Amino acid sequence: MRNTYTQRFNVDYTYPVYFTRDMFSQKNSILRKAIAKCTGAESKIMVFIDSGLVKAQPKLIGKVKRYLKILPVIIPGGECTKTARNTEKIIAHLMNNNMCRHSCVIAIGGGSVLDTVGYASTIYHRGLKLIRVPTTVLSQNDAGIGVKNAINHAGSKNMLGTFAAPSAVINDVSFLTTLSTDDWTGGISEAFKIASIKDRQFFIWLCKNADRLAKRDLSVMESLINKCAILHLDHIRKASDPFETGSARPLDYGHWSAHGLEVLSKGRISHGHAVSIGIALDSCYAMIQGFISKEDLARLLKGLTACGLPIWDRLLENKATLSYLTSNALEAFRIHMGGRLTIAMPCPIGKTTEIGSIDINALHESLALLCFLAVTSKKK
């Protein structure tokens, strides 16, 4: 039966990632087993849950209560939750419940909630056990499955954070049915990102299935998430630098400008949509530099657009944005990477090369090309 479809992948960094459906049905024992594996029978458990998820799925609170015999704490969902103030509130809950280092926190929600609950639980008592239950496309295929937690600070994305492996991650696609259109499409950009630099076959598959993804086909989305999550996990395992001690960040393709656009738009452009614009821009750059073919650039832009993702934003028409991107955003990215600018590019599609600088003239050319291609794709 489809609903009993369950897979478990072990990675060397060493937490299991489970793929399932209907995880809070009484028959599904994955979460119970994951808790038993990381804590003793006497250990305390707390559940933090995303307010946006609860609003969209009000019966969830009752299901969690029946399954775990615990009342979850609801915390605000979305990017605005990633603050020091909310972190303190979560820590206050942990203290009031006498949580100790053997206790287990279960975070249920989008990437923002997972980042914030993850950050609070990894600094409180130098780290509790953490089980992540991502409930958006982006958090299931990227944000929720790695080893990073962070909040925003002083106007900078993810400025305060920790590297800490979770005890387990449980990906349940049945959560995704209530996502807004933007949050459904947002995570697809991370799949195009990783396919472009790691897996040509997956890239072709994405382009071919773009229409079905746009029509919210859950089975196609499930395949996308599983593949994408495994590619991310594989990278964490094989690149031997899960805690990013070096300067290379091969999975951050398209992200240097994406982070800049997120900040400049004051949150109007979500992470997923900013990444889509960022990889569209970097792919134009890659084509101009001879890294990828014209045909693959056209395929990528068509695929992103067919999924309902943006490849352009009016912010890019503003001269101040351009100077911000070419100075502040690149500099912020360099510092974030550990001092040496290292930008991943596809070369060709499906493989990665790294570059240590951006040629400003070629970047201007890329912007002009992207603007032209975005306008012509709209007219079609």
Ligand X SMILES: NC(=O)c1ccc[n+]([C@@H]2O[C@H](COP(=O)([O-])OP(=O)(O)OC[C@H]3O[C@@H](n4cnc5c(N)ncnc54)[C@H](O)[C@@H]3O)[C@@H](O)[C@H]2O)c1
Q: Is 142 in the site for ligand X (CB under 6 A)?
A: yes
Q: Is 199 in the site for ligand X (CB under 6 A)?
A: no
Number of chain residues interacting with ligand X (CB under 6 A): 31
Q: Which of 34, 75, 104, 138 binds ligand X (CB under 6 A)?
A: 138
Q: Is 136 in the site for ligand X (CB under 6 A)?
A: yes
Q: Is 124 in the site for ligand X (CB under 6 A)?
A: no
Q: Is 346 exposed, middle or buried (0-12, 13-18, 19+ CB in 10 A)?
A: buried
DSSP secondary structure of 166-224: -SEEEEEGGGGGG--HHHHHHTHHHHHHHHHHH-HHHHHHHHHTHHHHHTT-HHHHHHH
CB 330 within 8 A of CB 256: yes
Which residue's CB is nearer to ligand X, number 227 or number 271?
A: 271
Query: What's the closest the beta carbon of residue 22 comes to ligand X, in angstroms?
Result: 13
Q: Is 229 in the site for ligand X (CB under 6 A)?
A: no
Query: What's the closest the beta carbon of residue 282 comes to ligand X, in angstroms?
Result: 17
Residue nearest ligand X by beta-carbon distance:
52
Q: Which of 34, 64, 133, 179 binds ligand X (CB under 6 A)?
A: 179
Q: Is 143 in the site for ligand X (CB under 6 A)?
A: yes
Q: Which residues pair with 74 in a beta bridge?
A: 49
Separation of alpha carbons 77 and 84, rounded Å: 15
**Residues, the chain:** 380
Q: Which of 148, 193, 198, 299 binds ligand X (CB under 6 A)?
A: 148
Q: Which residue has the tokens 């472009």?
A: 196
Q: Show contacts with ligand X in window 329-348 (CB under 6 A).
A: none
Which residue's CB is nearer to ligand X, number 71 or number 80?
A: 80
Tell me whether strands 73-75 and 352-355 are parallel, antiparallel or unpaired: unpaired
Q: Is 115 in the site for ligand X (CB under 6 A)?
A: yes
Taking Cα atoms as reference points, which of 141, 129, 208 lies closest to residue 166?
A: 129
DSSP secondary structure of 90-156: HHHHHHHTT--TT-EEEEEESHHHHHHHHHHHHHGGG--EEEEEE-SHHIIIIITTSSEEEEEETTE
Separation of alpha carbons 116 and 110, rounded Å: 10
Query: What's the closest the beta carbon of residue 337 comes to ligand X, in angstroms?
Result: 14
Which residue's CB is nearer to ligand X, number 79 or number 222?
A: 79
Q: Is 50 in the site for ligand X (CB under 6 A)?
A: yes
Q: Is 352 in the site for ligand X (CB under 6 A)?
A: no
Q: Is 53 in the site for ligand X (CB under 6 A)?
A: yes
Which residue's CB is nearer to ligand X, number 149 or number 305?
A: 149
Q: Which of 49, 113, 191, 367 binds ligand X (CB under 6 A)?
A: 113
Q: Is 308 in the site for ligand X (CB under 6 A)?
A: no
Q: Which residue has the tokens 């992948």?
A: 9
The 3-state DSSP class for residue 375 equals: helix
Cα of first residue to Cα of last residue in the chain, in angstroms, is: 42
Token duo for residue 30: 């994955």
Q: Which stretch binds ligand X (CB under 6 A): 139-147, 278-286, 296-304, 346-354?
A: 139-147
Q: Which stretch binds ligand X (CB under 6 A): 61-69, 84-92, 143-151, 234-242?
A: 143-151
Q: Is 375 exposed, middle or buried (0-12, 13-18, 19+ CB in 10 A)?
A: exposed
The binding site for ligand X (CB under 6 A) comprises: 50, 52-53, 56, 77-79, 82, 109-113, 115, 135-136, 138-139, 142-143, 146, 148, 158, 175-176, 178-179, 183, 186, 271-272
